[in-house]
Amino acid sequence: MTLKVKKAIYPGTFDPFTNGHFDVLERAVTLFNDVTVVIAVNSSKQTLFSFQERREMIMEITAGLDGVHVDVLHDGLLADYARNAGATAIIRGVRQVKDFEYEFQLSLLNRHLYPEATTVFLMPNVKFTYVASSIIREVGMLGGDVSKFVHPTVLKMLDRKREEASGSCS
């Protein structure tokens, strides 16, 4: 028996969207009919890519996945977004114990705020367990090869950002 829940959301900053994120998303679409990737715009985080650039990247990368949508959460609570979207599940990727501790706290808070949604923890393929967006940003901006960890679309945009940054420093 395959579990199919009508709607799930997969929130995150996704700066940038990595192959680990994509792997978790692929796992989510095997469980849920409709998954919305929700790009969180967090004013306390300094991002390399604007929310428009992240949305564009994710839409291009996920174009071949049925039932996947991309949206942006500009402000407000994730629980409110989930409620308004009619989501019954919140997808969270966990790579290591440190991730789980933080995500567990968030899931309990979200359960309090919106009990109708269940947080579902999914682990990416082991080859992506050490891949974090922050590491990809740093290595990519320093000219390191991150091609095994991101989609070619992301690689191209990282290269462009690096060129823009080096041009502004000259």
Instruction: Return the active site residues.
Output: 21, 45, 95, 133
Instruction: Determine whether the annotation assigns residue 156 to a binding site.
Output: no
Distance, in Å, from the CA atom of 114 to the CA atom of 117, rounded to the nearest integer, reads 6
Distance, in Å, from the CA atom of 133 to the CA atom of 119, rounded to the nearest integer, reads 21
- Peptide linkage before 16 cis (omega within 30 of 0): yes
Give me the phi and psi of 87, to 5 degrees please: -75, 140
Instruction: Determine whether the annotation assigns residue 93 to a binding site.
Output: yes
Instruction: Determine whether the annotation assigns residue 44 to a binding site.
Output: no
Instruction: Determine whether the annotation assigns residue 112 to a binding site.
Output: no
Distance, in Å, from the CA atom of 98 to the CA atom of 69, rounded to the nearest integer, reads 29
- Peptide linkage before 115 cis (omega within 30 of 0): no
Instruction: Determine whether the annotation assigns residue 131 to a binding site.
Output: yes
Instruction: Determine whether the annotation assigns residue 28 to a binding site.
Output: no
Instruction: Determine whether the annotation assigns residue 14 to a binding site.
Output: yes
Binding residues for substrate: 13, 45, 78, 92
Binding residues for ATP: 13-14, 21, 93-95, 103, 128-134
